[in-house]
Amino acid sequence: MQWGEIQHIGWMLILFIIITLSVHVYRWRERIKKNFVDAHLLPVIFPITSSKRYAFKLTLGCLAIFFIILAYMDPLYGEKEVNVKREGIDMVFLLDLSSSMNAQDVAPSRLDKASKLISETLHQLGGDRAALVVFAANAYTIIPLTNDYAAIDSYLANMNTELISNQGTDFFHAMNEAAKVFKNSANSSQLVVLISDGEDHEDSTNQAIKVAKDNNLFVLSIGVGSQKGAPIPTYYNGIQEDFKKDQYGNTVVTKLEDGNLKKIAAATSGAYFPLTTIQEGLSNLMMYKTRLSKNEIAVAKTKDMNHVYQWFLAFAVALLFIELLTSEYKIFNERKH
């Protein structure tokens, strides 16, 4: 026997209170009777039964309350097999790993903030499946569609731009990789969450749009960075050495270029928003996601315990019924007194 609402056991205290008050009331009543009339007249004036019947009625009432409290604690017994239907959408996170994502015009960096948004989103997905694709000039699927959000989270914790040696930003390859991830998905609602600073060094925006349209993908574009921009740190063995220079030795400043991101979103019936705070970004992302229709993506069998509170309630009602039919008074001259 297990209990679904064991925290309600505190209501057992009411039994102690009822028993204590009942004993005090009985003693007070007996004392009043003795003060009211001489002892030899008590059987005549107060033709009541012995204390045994009073105790019997009290016991029935307390037992009834006891079983009502047990029912309130939701007793569980045995097991039954139930089908659990899970509904949701399929979504692919496209995370830009071009070197410009190291810029620190948003704290702690564009990449860290983007990774944090994905991580926070995973905690809100519920039954949805998610995949992670990283891209720069090339694109790679890190985690295919799964409900194992912890696996995606573990990769995000160690994400850095050095994972892709061929730098640049190519939206076509990224979108094409997302389409491959969705290839075996039967879900009609397929959402691509594109997180990037918008720099398109390959002029691949139009090609990316064509791939998204051909595969009926909704694209939610999220811009990371600022219009003011920032220099791009360069690292060696994880330690910052300098900032990226152009061919003339000048420090390269990267800015948020949201034009391409807005274009992709608009062409695919998606939406665009800049990533200001994690909480606002999460709110915008989840708000858009709720607009998409959810499909039944899995039916699983699981074991569930039987709720047997109704038996406890039935026993409590039977005890109360008996208690009501049990008179505390004797039949005196064929009448209750």
Q: What is the pLDDT of residues 111-169, one digit of tens each?
A: 999 999 999 999 988 778 899 999 998 999 999 998 889 889 988 988 988 888 888 88
pLDDT at 27: 84
d(CA 293, CA 51): 69
Q: What ranges in the chain are assigned the alpha helix state H?
A: 13-36, 42-45, 51-72, 110-122, 149-156, 171-181, 205-214, 258-267, 278-289, 309-325
Mean pLDDT of 216-231: 92
d(CA 204, CA 2): 60
The two tokens of residue 72 are: 């309130």
What is the torsional sign of CA 198, 204, 205, 211? negative
Question: Of residues 332 and 36, which shows the higher confidence score?
Answer: 36
Outline which parts of the chain fall under CATH 3.40.50.410: 90-293
272, 285 Cβ separation under 8 angstroms: no
Q: What is the CA radius of gyration of the chain?
A: 36
70, 8 Cβ separation under 8 angstroms: no
- What's 90-293's CATH class? alpha beta
Q: What is the pTM of this model?
A: 0.62
pLDDT at 333: 44
Q: H-helix or E-strand containing 307?
A: strand 295-307
| Residue of 299, 304, 298 lying closest to 81 (CA atoms) | 304
d(CA 35, CA 5): 49
How many other C-beta atoms are found inside a 10 Å radius of the C-beta of residue 281?
Answer: 23
Q: H-helix or E-strand containing 272?
A: strand 271-274
d(CA 97, CA 292): 28
Q: Which residues pair with 331 in a beta bridge?
A: 336
User: 3-state class of 331 per DSSP?
Assistant: strand
Q: Mean pLDDT, the chain, as a whole number?
A: 83
The two tokens of residue 68 are: 């009502």
Each residue's pLDDT tens digit, 61-75:
899 999 999 988 888
Percent residues over pLDDT 70 in the chain: 83
The two tokens of residue 152 are: 């995606």
Each residue's pLDDT tens digit, 266-325:
999 899 999 999 999 999 999 988 887 665 555 445 556 678 889 999 999 999 888 888
In terms of C-beta density within 10 A (0-12 exposed, 13-18 middle, 19 or more buried), how is residue 333 classed?
Answer: exposed
d(CA 235, CA 215): 38
User: 3-state class of 277 per DSSP?
Assistant: coil
d(CA 280, CA 257): 20
Q: Where is average pLDDT lowest: 38-47, 83-92, 141-150, 325-334? A: 325-334
